Amino acid sequence: MENTTALITSKGIMYQNKFFTCSRAISEQWFDHGSPYYMLEIQVHSENDLLLIMLDSGEAIAVHRIPILNTHSQRELDSYFTKLNELKLVKKLLKNEKG
C-alpha cells in the first residue's frame, strides 16, 4: 500500500487530480469553507482502486471516488462549486442569526 497525502477541498478529497468523499466527510461538512478540515492535507493509503484516509485518531476510513462526467466544462464545474459554497455560507449566516 502506498502512503501519501490528499487535500480536502470544496470539491471533495483530492488525490491524484481525482475527487473522493465519504459519509463522514459529508455529515461533518469537511468541504465547507468554514470547516477546520478545509484545505487540510491528510494522510492516505492507496492500493489499486481502494483509498483510505487516515485520521489523527488512527482510524482509517474508506472513501469513494466522485464520478464527474465530462459533459460540463471546467469553467461550468468551477462556477457550480462556487455557487454551492456561496449557498453554504448563506445557510451558515442564517443559522447564526437565528441561534
Per-residue pLDDT of 7-59, as tens digits, reads 999 889 999 988 999 999 999 999 888 888 888 899 999 877 788 998 888 89
Angle at CA 83, nearest 5°, toward 82 and 86? 90
SS3 state at 87? helix
Kindly report the number of other CB atoms within 10 A of residue 60's CB atom: 12
Q: pLDDT value at position 61?
A: 92
Count of CB atoms situated within 10 Å of the CB of 25: 19
How many domains does the chain divide into?
Answer: 1
Q: How far apart are CA 55 and CA 49, in angstroms?
A: 20
In this predicted structure, the answer to whether residue 98 has a pLDDT above a threshold of 70 is: yes
Look at phi and psi of residue 48 and say left if phi exceeds 0, alpha if psi is from -120 to 50, else beta: left
Our measurement of the distance from residue 51's CA atom to the centroid of its chain's CA atoms, rounded to an integer in Å, reads 14
Domain that holds residue 52: 2-98
Say which residue, 73 or 61, is predicted with more confidence: 61
